[in-house]
Each structure stands twice: as C-alpha cells, then as structure tokens.
C-alpha cells in the first residue's frame, strides 16, 4: 500500500485516544484521585484529544469492587462526576474485556450513558464472543472498536480469518494491539498494511495500541500511521502496564494538525511525577526489554521490577527457562 501522508501533512482521519486512566490504572490498581482524572479530562479537551478512555467495564461478579479503584468498573455516575454533560468535542471511551464484562447489564443504552465508545478487547480465539459484544453495544447506540490483543503471537492466517469475520460486524475500527511490546516498525508496517486492506474492504478504520518494552511504542505508532492507521492510542508520560505505552506528549508533538496542542498534556506530567515519587512504577526497564524480545507476557518482568531486583542476567536465564520449559 502507498504511504498515507507525510511529515508535513495533516490527516483529517486521525483520532488520538488517551488511554492513561485505563492502561495506567494497571499500575496503581485504578486508584487515581478524582483531582487527577478531572485535570486530565480538562487537559485532553484543551489539547484537542479525540477520545479519553476512563477504564474498564469489569464484571462485579468476577471482581470485588473493594479490591480496586472505581475506574476498574467505570460506573456511569462516576464518569458523570468528572465530565458532567460533557458538552465538548472529546468523546468518552471504556474498555470491555471478552469474558470479563457483564455487558448486557452493565453497559446501558447510549441515551442513558455518558459513554460514546466501547473498546472490546479480545484474543484471537474468542472472536465469536467479541462479535456478540460488538453487536450488543452497536444496538445500544455506541461506537465500537475491536482490540485484538497479543497480535504478535497470532498466526497471520488466523488474523485474516478474524478480520473477515469482524468486517461483517458493525464494529467501527480494528485495533492492532502489541500487548507484549514485541513488534518492530517493519512488523508494525506489515500488520498495518494487512489490517488496512481489510479496513478498506469493509469500510472500517484501523487503530494501534503499542507497548514500550523495546522503546519502540512511538516508532511503531507513527510507522503504522504512515500505512493508513488512524486511531492512535497514547498515555501521559507513557503511563501503562509494565513498560508503558506510546507517550501522549510525544504523539501530540509529532502530529501536524493545529487542533492538537501539547502544552496542556505537559502540565499533567507534574501529576505523573508525583505518582512515580509515591512508588508507582512503569516505563522502559531491562526486564521488560527481555519479555519484549522473547515475545511473551510481561508478568515475570512486572514481578522482577516490583521486587526491586537488579540481577538482570539471572532474570534473563530464568525467563529463558520459563519460555522453553
């Protein structure tokens, strides 16, 4: 496919999605003070960000509300306390995991909710259940995306089959999700070409959600964008599970559309610095690099960092044994 746009052009189809509360919530158990969430909402409005993802719509049957901050569940009333009637151009998003969301009961009709977009997260082997969720949310009036997780582990033929099935659903956008931070820009480009070819076939947009295990989240995001990907996920200060994500301030500073302004997001770094000083951990580190290179879940690296270990060589050998056992 031909490159779409260049370094000086404005792509009107681009949509910037701030995932700080949702992905960053995996670092602090979703226990963000309302002051921060409100400030981030206002900053996103001023920065021209298109969507703000508030967190998960997790099932209260599977997860105890007492064990998490409220953005694990994103009750509509809690969102309204932050956004009011949201009389802005910023749209509100939540994530709903296949198998972990009581979507028929907890996701109300759109005309009763402040939410605009439901991002449905699935693995390649649960596509039929994802389609059921897409159809339910679309009937209720929501925009939807389908976020196929751990795509670096999926076989190309399975991805093609999934995109064909999903293309026939009412979903608005397909998402490339580099859950393990394992992709290199060349691979991101090839996946973007594939996803965008099916996007064009079925009239769907394409998005990317990148992790920074190999310090490539930003590079992978803009590389995919050159091939036509238009929904771009990012977080303030790269805050997110493990190695974190594409940094929102990097992305807004790169995009040439004058609607996007980086200064409001730079001010939010004062908050994320406070989170770091209080002991919340995320961002590039050698153990995350290793799980990215091994194309595996960062869970062992998260434990390594939490324990404040520094024996990187031992960890590399442990990880090799885990993967090859």
For 201-241, give the DSSP string.
HHT-EEEEEEB-TTS-HHHHHHHHHHTT--EEEEBGGG-SS
Residue 50, CB-side half-sphere exposure with 13 Å CA sphere: 15
Q: Find tokens 């999903």 and name the residue.
A: 166
User: Is residue 26, in this structure, part of any structural domain at all?
Assistant: yes
What is the tens place of the pLDDT at every residue in 242-276?
A: 999 999 999 999 999 999 999 999 999 999 999 99
Same domain? 147 vs 29? yes
Number of residues assigned to the chain? 325
Cβ(122)–Cβ(148) under 8 Å?
yes
**Exposed, middle or buried, 228 (CB in 10 Å: 0-12/13-18/19+)?**
buried
Rounded average pLDDT over 30-56: 98
Rounded mean pLDDT, 120-138: 98
194 and 319, same domain (yes or no): no
Cα Rg of the chain (Å, integer): 19
Answer whether 0.85 is exceeded by the pTM: yes
First to last CA, the chain: 40
Distance of CA 239 to CAs 63, 95, 281, 287, Å? 23, 17, 9, 17
- In a domain, residue 216? The reply is yes
3-class secondary structure, 147? strand
Same domain flag for 130 and 250: yes
Residues 266, 231 share a domain: yes
CATH number assigned to the domain comprising residue 246 = 3.20.20.70
Report yes or no on 238 lying in a domain.
yes
Residue 166 shares a structural domain with residue 294: no
pLDDT tens, residue by residue, 139-179: 999 999 999 999 999 999 999 999 999 999 999 999 999 99
Q: List the structure tokens of 38.
A: 């409100």
The reply to whether 261 falls in a domain is yes
Residue 232 lies in domain: 15-277
pLDDT at 206 over 80: yes
Question: Does any domain span residue 7?
Answer: no
The overall average pLDDT reported for the chain is: 97
Q: Indicate the pLDDT class of residue 8, thresholds 50, 70 and 90.
A: confident
Percent of the chain with pLDDT over 90: 97
4 found inside a domain:
no
- Asked if 254 and 172 sit in the same domain, the reply is yes
CA torsion 270→246→281→34, rounded to 10°? 50
* 219 and 298 share one domain: no
pLDDT at 1 over 80: no
Dump strand ranges (E) for the chain. 15-18, 51-56, 91-97, 117-122, 143-148, 173-178, 205-210, 231-234
Work out the burial of residue 111: count CB atoms within 10 Å of its CB; fewer than 13 is exposed, 13-18 middle, 19 or more buried.
exposed
Check residue 2 and give its pLDDT.
82
* Torsion angle defined by CA atoms of residues 15, 288, 65 and 149, in that order, rounded to the nearest 10 degrees: 50
Kindly indicate the confidence band of residue 234, based on its pLDDT and cuts at 50, 70 and 90. Answer: very high
Percent of the chain with pLDDT over 70: 100
Would you call 42 helix, strand, or coil by DSSP? Answer: helix
Confidence category of residue 325, pLDDT binned at 50, 70, 90: confident
Please give the structure tokens belonging to residue 123. Answer: 């693995």
Residues 77-122: tens digit of each pLDDT: 999 999 999 999 999 999 999 999 999 999 999 999 999 999 999 9
pLDDT for 7 equals 85
Tokens read off for 127: 């596509």
Mean per-residue pLDDT, 38-64: 98
In a domain? residue 307: yes
Are 158 and 118 members of one domain?
yes
Task: Flag whether 2 is in a domain.
Answer: no
pLDDT value of position 22: 98
Same domain, 167 and 205: yes
Give the pLDDT score at 254: 97
Regarding whether 179 and 308 lie in a shared domain, the answer is no
For residue 96, the model assigns a pLDDT of 98
Is residue 298 domain-shared with residue 155, that is, in the same domain? no
The domain tally of the chain equals: 2
Could you read off the pLDDT of 182-192 as tens digits, one per residue? Answer: 999 999 999 99
* Domain shared by 265 and 316, yes or no: no
């Amino acid at each position: 496919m031909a490159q779409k746009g260049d370094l000086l052009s404005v792509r009107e189809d681009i949509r910037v999605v701030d995932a700080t509360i949702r992905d960053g919530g995996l670092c602090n158990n979703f226990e963000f003070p309302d002051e921060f969430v409100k400030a981030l909402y206002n900053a996103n409005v001023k920065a021209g960000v298109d969507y703000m993802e508030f967190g998960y719509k997790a099932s209260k049957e599977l997860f105890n509300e007492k064990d998490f901050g409220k953005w694990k569940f994103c009750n509509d009333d809690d969102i309204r306390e932050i956004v009011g009637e949201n009389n802005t151009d910023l749209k509100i998003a939540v994530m709903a995991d296949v198998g972990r969301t009581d979507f028929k009961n907890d996701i109300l009709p759109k005309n009763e909710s402040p939410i605009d977009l439901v991002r449905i997260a699935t693995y390649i082997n649960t596509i039929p259940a994802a389609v059921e969720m897409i159809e339910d949310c679309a009937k209720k009036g929501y925009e939807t995306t389908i976020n196929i997780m751990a795509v670096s582990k999926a076989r190309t033929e399975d991805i093609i089959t999934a995109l064909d099935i999903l293309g026939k659903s009412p979903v608005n956008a397909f998402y490339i999700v580099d859950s393990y931070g394992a992709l290199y820009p060349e691979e991101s480009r090839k996946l973007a070409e594939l996803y965008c070819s099916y996007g064009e076939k079925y009239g769907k947009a394409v998005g990317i959600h990148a992790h920074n295990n190999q310090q490539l989240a930003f590079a992978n995001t803009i590389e995919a964008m050159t091939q036509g990907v238009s929904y771009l996920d990012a977080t303030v200060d790269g805050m997110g599970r493990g190695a974190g994500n594409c940094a929102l301030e990097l992305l807004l500073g790169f995009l040439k559309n004058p609607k996007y302004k980086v200064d409001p997001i730079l001010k939010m770094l004062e908050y994320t610095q406070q989170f770091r000083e209080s002991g919340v951990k995320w961002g590039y580190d050698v153990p995350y690099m290793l799980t990215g290179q091994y194309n595996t879940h960062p869970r062992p690296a998260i434990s390594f960092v939490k324990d404040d270990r520094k024996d990187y060589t031992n960890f590399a050998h442990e990880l090799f044994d885990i993967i090859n056992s």
